[in-house]
Amino acid sequence: MNCQILNLYCSNQGLSRIPQFPESITNRKTLDLRYNNLTELNESFLMQLQNERIPVYLSGNNWLSNCEDFSFIEFVTENQDLILDKEDIVTNFNGKPINLMTPMEDIQDICNLDFLPVVIGALTFLLLITFFTILFLIYNLEIKVWLFAHNLMLCWVSEEEIDKDREYDAFICFSEKDEKYVEEIVKHLESGPNSYKLCLHFRDWIVGDFITNQIVNSVKNSKRSIFILTKNFMESVWSKLEFRTAHIASMKEKRPRVIMILCENLEDIGELTEEIDSYITTNTYLKWNDYMFWDRLKYALPHIKIK
């Protein structure tokens, strides 16, 4: 680079950045940086020009002069006496020579306005993320039930294949006096393209086998056990044994195997066993008269693949 020593002429050198000068430029009469490929000047160099009051030529370069290079805008607006060719320098900021540039206070306002949409957009995005996170935490189950009912994002709510060897999707436990509820469940779950395979006393048990063995095998071979909780259920010895068997198996496997359906008001059902009372107190159960009952029931059942 051919730079004279008394006046530092570095014009037409194809510079894209300020080089490391061999000595201090203090007391130089002028610094000529015209007609290079400069787009910006680093803050330390600008500070040196300002502190040492060094006159400089800057025209013929592609100065960015936007809000992202605020230090250059600040330098040229506050030190126009040092810029010897200010009439020939047109910036990208407002397309005017720097001697006609907006005062520094106005430039700060303009730049703040430029960033305002970004700030508002970022805050809006954060608020939306926070809102939907809170919404999900509050209505986690309802959201998953709705997604499952509408065949959306099934990968998020899909059933694991750990139960693939179990014959039945669900074993229905009920009192013989409550067959009306069972008929409705069978009608909804065993029909349609995405049907479930249910285990029922009167249909699937082996005639003549011990009831206790049948209960154990039905629980063991079913992915879920559905309990129709009514007053009749609580009056049945076998029904309470079915619950105990399924509940113990669920706790041993540490998997949610039990689906409790409350078909009557608790006060109408009467006194509960300690096990059932404890389960209802500590677990989510379904209500027969819930407007989302069938969606909730299907969500609680194994998530079969859509056919």
The residue ranges of every structural domain in the chain are 1-102, 114-157, 160-300
Mean pLDDT of the chain: 80
* Residue 276 pLDDT greater than 70, yes or no: yes
Which residue is associated with the tokens 């159960």? Answer: 285
116-175 pLDDT, tens digit per residue, is: 577 788 888 899 998 888 887 887 767 766 665 566 655 555 555 556 778 899 999 999
pLDDT-above-90 percentage for the chain: 20
* Residue 40 pLDDT greater than 70, yes or no: yes
Between 150 and 262, the higher pLDDT residue: 262
Q: Which fold has domain 1-102?
A: 3.80.10
* Residue 1 pLDDT greater than 60, yes or no: no
58-95 pLDDT, tens digit per residue, is: 888 888 766 666 777 778 878 888 988 888 887 666 55
Give which of 292, 286, 295, 244 is closest to 261, Cα–Cα: 286
* Residue 4 pLDDT greater than 50, yes or no: no
- Distance between CA atoms of 51 and 183, rounded to whole angstroms? 92
pLDDT of residue 119: 73
pLDDT of residue 261: 94
- Distance between CA atoms of 176 and 238, rounded to whole angstroms? 11
Between 76 and 261, the higher pLDDT residue: 261
* Residue 307 pLDDT greater than 70, yes or no: no
284-296 pLDDT, tens digit per residue, is: 899 999 999 999 9
DSSP 80-105: GGGBTTGGG-B-TTTSSBGGGPPPHH
Same fold flag, 1-102 and 160-300: no
**Which of the residue ranges 104-113, 123-132, 174-183, 247-256 would you say has the lowest mean pLDDT?**
104-113
Between 109 and 60, the higher pLDDT residue: 60
289 and 268 in contact (C-beta within 8 Å)?
no
* Residue 248 pLDDT greater than 70, yes or no: yes
* Residue 177 pLDDT greater than 80, yes or no: yes
CA distances for 116 relative to 68, 130, 149, 169, angstroms: 14, 21, 42, 57
| Highest CATH level, class, for 160-300 | alpha beta
* Residue 237 pLDDT greater than 60, yes or no: yes
Between 254 and 1, the higher pLDDT residue: 254
pLDDT of residue 53: 87
- Distance between CA atoms of 62 and 35, rounded to whole angstroms? 9
Between 105 and 123, the higher pLDDT residue: 123
